[in-house]
Structure 1
Amino acid sequence: MTTTRRSALGVLGASGALLATGAVARAASGSAVTPTSVDVRAFDRFVREQAAVDAFSGSLLLVHRGRPVLARSYGRANDAAPNGPDTLFAMASVTKLFTAVAIAQLAQAGRLAYTSTLGTFLSGFPAGIADTVQVHHLLTHTSGFGDTFAMPGYLAEALTWTDVDQVMNGTTDYIRRSSPEFAPGAGYRYSNAAYHLLGAIVAEVSGQSYYDYVREHVFRPAGMTATDFRTRPQWHTDPRMAHPYAKQPSGERADTIDQRLYVGTPSGDAFTTCADMARFAAALQGSKLLDRAFTGITLGGKVPLPPQPGGPPAGPHAGFQCYGPMTLLVGNQWVTGHGGGAPGTSTDFQLYPDTEWVTVILSNYDYDGGPPPVVKKARDIITA
């Protein structure tokens, strides 16, 4: 029998917890802890209202100048536990940021160049692809490769894989057999396949598995003690892990773990907490993962993004693809980060370098038509 989100809520009840430590506790008691231009209390009310009508389930954290300002958790992680500060959420495509940092570290060390071609590291691709697709193209979604999950037969076979090597090697094989949609640099298409290949390059250049490399060189130096790639069996049994509750045509939300891969890939589904992502932000901006020059290279805009739905004045006035994140000019502020989505998952991580805010929003709900209202509201209050 499929457990639906609504039936789980009926049994367990919805929960909303203020993580009342430090500045968060003072915010709850009414003391001013944030710049007056950012109405955190209005955002807090909005999130509470969304949770009350079961429109938001997850955890969030707002940080200003390294100081936690607001932390909230609502809804259920699974049938055994509510969402809380220690709940582990599948990150979907926010994982790409770790892959991009790993590539930048190897570039900083002189072990690859952004102009290096795919065939320098990975065999089995036709010469027309191996000799023309560059690391730069893979990072900026301009390689011509598309989405692995849209490749005929991929998901059906991938769901049968039961170890890490099968996932990595099997996915790479599917990409080898695919045909790019355009010549490198001739277009833009968001590409899970490209970031998987970047992870395979990390493994080839470093001599470690992709997973071991990011554990040792990204998670550990950033102090991300909870973040890791976990397997589907762990997802089923570990009460700390939020289950993905995907909205069904009936309106019910159903647990869709069995529609996810055995383990995440360089393009998606590491597991993390809000606090760990705040640590990642501090490490990245504080040059603990990369030196100052390569941090700038990674976070700087490279390729103009296609027009966004809504457009000015409602949407961003300018947007660029960076080496991993995307950066948008909103309300005369740059907003740099990444979002992620999959059935039962919606995640968002943003840096606001002009005003020194960081926002982390992790949800085990999916949403129709783009990011959840909570994500949009956070951006609106900070850029107002």
Structure 2
Amino acid sequence: MTTTRRSVLGVLGASGALLATGAVPGAATGAAVSPTPADVRAFDQFVKEQAAVDAFAGSLLLVHRGRPVLARSYGRANDTALNGPDTLFAMASVTKLFTAVAIAQLAQAGKIAYTSTLGTYVSGFPAEIADTVKVHHLLTHTSGLGDTFTMPGYLAEALTWTSVDQVMNGTTDYIRRTSLEFAPGAGSRYSNAAYHVLGAIVAQVSGKSYYDYVREHVFRPAGLTTTDFYTRPQWHTDPRIAHPYAKQPSGERADTIDQRLYVGTPAGDAFTTCADMARFASALQGSKLLDRAFTGITLSGKVPPPPQPGPQPGRTPGVPHVGFQCYGPVTLLVNNQWVTGHGGGAPGTSTDVQMYPGSEWVTVILSNYDYDGGPPPVVVKARDMITA
């Protein structure tokens, strides 16, 4: 690491720093080769070009061996501020990583068993669900539960809720009234309902609200200084928080805060910065949130991941693609490198956090734009660069 270069591109609303100008060393002998400084500069230029044509807005941070290499921010956060390194972004489904760690902590403490059923911890579910769905199924999207947002009547009612308890308890009640789409373990479908239920388990077992447990046992130990579950009124008024700008049929983008819940759930929409998520990745990989055994349990592949719509980053058509759902993250084998992390998306939101254990990189890309047909090109380009 050598000199520091900072620039502010006022016309584009861009800010950032390219922090590595010397050689970036590879990982240990026999491990994956890291991108060169020229690779990083080419990626930096690509992001700039994407922002120039309004194809990317948000912040990104690339970290190698715990040291920042590239930090960039582009576009507007809201009506009064530009995106910057301290901007808070709605995380969408990347929030599931926090929920998975909370479950693992309670399993490590002997308070939860991955093989125990949902009914062991949370009451009120029909026997079809309570007696057959296990914690393992919930974590791996193999429970047979679906998506809360597609449940008849859910979103219309949920948008009227004005308290944390209404969101948490009301969502759980909707899931209690649902039916399984397949027998637990017999299929795979990405499930926001499953991760919400995991949050209900955290609350029941810990004796705290889900939100308080995660703040105390995940955010604080990981050193996350601004990450939290902010409410919709805070989203409207806090200039640090990026508004979600969703693409409309006309091609224009509109602020869609009022299409989001009063507060996020265990399945989505905590708020974070790039720096906080890099700290979280470091704490998780460094066994600061879990002991080494449970870190390994959480980050190791369990079952093939559920199918995702659209093209996936790092996937080349016609080339075999190996991936596994872990207890929270997804791990993929891309060009002989394991890549472990999670992405998220919602109207006006696209987020991605990835860890590359072989080459010791972490990438955090948080955007307040949504994208059609898969992840943003910036996410795909970052993965291509590191795994090339």
State TM-score, norm by structure 2: 0.92
Q: How many residues in Structure 1 have an aligned counterpart in Structure 2?
A: 366
Matched to 1:360, the amino acid is V
Q: How far is 1:25 from its partner?
A: 3.8
> 1:333 corresponds to which residue?
337
Q: How far off is 1:342 after superposition?
A: 0.1
Q: Which residue of 1 aligns with 2:161?
A: 161
Code of the aligned partner of 2:208: Q
Letter in 2 for 1:369: G
On the 8 A contact 1:59/1:71 being kept in 2, the answer is yes
Taking only aligned residues, the RMSD between alpha carbons, in angstroms, comes to 1.5
In the alignment, is residue 243 of structure 1 matched against residue 224 of structure 2? no
Q: Report if aligned partners of 1:34, 1:69 keep a CA contact under 8 Å in 2.
A: no
Q: 1:182, 1:126 → 2: CA distance?
A: 15
Summarize the Cα distance change of 1:287–1:143 in structure 2 as closer, same or farther, 3 Å threshold: same
Distance 1:115 1:332, change over 3 A: same
Give the CA deviation at 1:314: 6.0
Confirm whether residue 15 of structure 1 aligns to residue 13 of structure 2.
yes
1:208-255 deviations in Å (ceiling 9; x for gaps): 000000000000000001100000000000000000000000000000
Query: Which of 324, 330, 337 does residue 320 from structure 1 map onto?
Result: 324
Partner of 2:6: none
What is the letter of the counterpart of residue 45 of structure 2? R
Matched position secondary structure for 1:303: coil
Residue among 350, 354, 360 paired with 2:354 = 350
How far residue 18 of structure 1 moved from its aligned partner, in angstroms, is 1.7
Pairing 1:123–2:123 present: yes
Measured against aligned partners, the alpha-carbon deviations of 1:278-327 in whole angstroms (never above 9, x if no partner) come to 10011101110000000000000000135676665566620100000000
Query: Structure 1 stretch 42-51 or stretch 315-324: which is displaced more?
Result: 315-324
Q: What amino acid is the match of 1:190? A: Y
Structure 1 match to 2:62: 62
CA distance in structure 1 between the aligned counterparts of 2:291 and 2:110, rounded to whole angstroms: 13
Deviating above 3 A after TM superposition, structure 1's stretches of 4 or more consecutive aligned residues are 24-27, 31-38, 306-316
- Map 1:225-236; keep pairs closer than 5 Å: 225-236=225-236
Q: How does 1:201-280 map to 2 (within 5 A)?
A: 201-280=201-280
**Structure 1 pair 315/159, CA: closer, same or farther in 2 (3 Å)?**
farther
Is the contact between residue 142 and residue 186 of structure 2 (CA under 8 Å) also seen in structure 1? yes
Secondary structure of the residue aligned to 1:379 is: helix
Alignment partner, residue 109 of structure 1: 109
Q: Does the CA contact (< 8 Å) of 1:85 and 1:275 recur in 2?
A: yes
- Residue 33 of structure 1 deviates from its aligned partner by 4.2
Post-superposition offset of 1:116: 1.1
Unaligned runs of 5+ in 1: 1-11
SS, match of residue 379 in structure 2: helix
Q: Work out whether 1:375 is the aligned partner of 2:368.
A: no
Aligned to 2:187: 187
Deviation at 1:128, TM superposition (A): 2.0
**Is 1:363 aligned to residue 388 of structure 2?**
no
Asked if the contact 1:315/1:330 (under 8 Å) is kept, the reply is no
AA aligned opposite 1:345: T
Distance 1:61 1:54 in 2: 19
Counterparts of 1:34-113 in structure 2 under 5 Å? 37-38=35-36, 39-113=39-113
Provide the residue aligned with 2:289 in structure 1. Answer: 289
Give, as a single letter, the amino acid of the residue that structure 1 aligns with 2:47: V
2:192 and 2:84 map into 1 onto residues whose CA distance is 29
Residue identity in the other structure for 1:215: R
Instruction: Quote the Cα distance in structure 1 between the aligned partners of 2:382 and 2:13.
Output: 21
Query: Deviation string for 1:55-84 (max 9, x for gaps)?
Result: 000000000111100000000000100000
**In 1: Cα distance, 2:328 partner to 2:290 partner:** 14
Match of 2:3 in 1: none
Cα offsets for 1:20-76 (capped at 9, x unmatched): xxxx4453xxx4446564411111010000000010000000001111000000000
TM-score of the pair, normalised by structure 1? 0.93
Q: What is the SS of the residue equivalent to 1:304?
A: coil
* Distance in 2 separating the partners of 1:211 and 1:13: 39
Q: 1-side partners of 2:307 and 2:285: how far apart?
A: 28
Contact 1:75 1:82 (C-alpha < 8 Å) held by counterparts: yes
Q: For the Cα contact (< 8 Å) 1:316–1:330, is it kept in 2?
A: no
Q: State the Cα distance separating 1:122 from its structure 2 match.
A: 1.1
Once the two structures are overlaid, the 10-residue window that deviates more, 357-366 or 302-311, is 302-311
| Counterpart residue number, 1:7 | none
Q: Taking structure 1 as reference, are residues 316 and 338 closer, same or farther at Cα in structure 2, changes over 3 Å only?
A: farther
Q: Deviations over 1:88-113 (max 9, x none)?
A: 00000000000000000000000010
Aligned amino acid, residue 15 of structure 1: G
CA distance in 2 between counterparts of 1:315 and 1:81 reads 43
1:324-370 CA distances to partner (integer Å, 9 max, x unpaired)?
00000000000000000000000000000111000000000000001
* Displacement of 1:16: 1.1
1:146 deviation in Å? 0.3
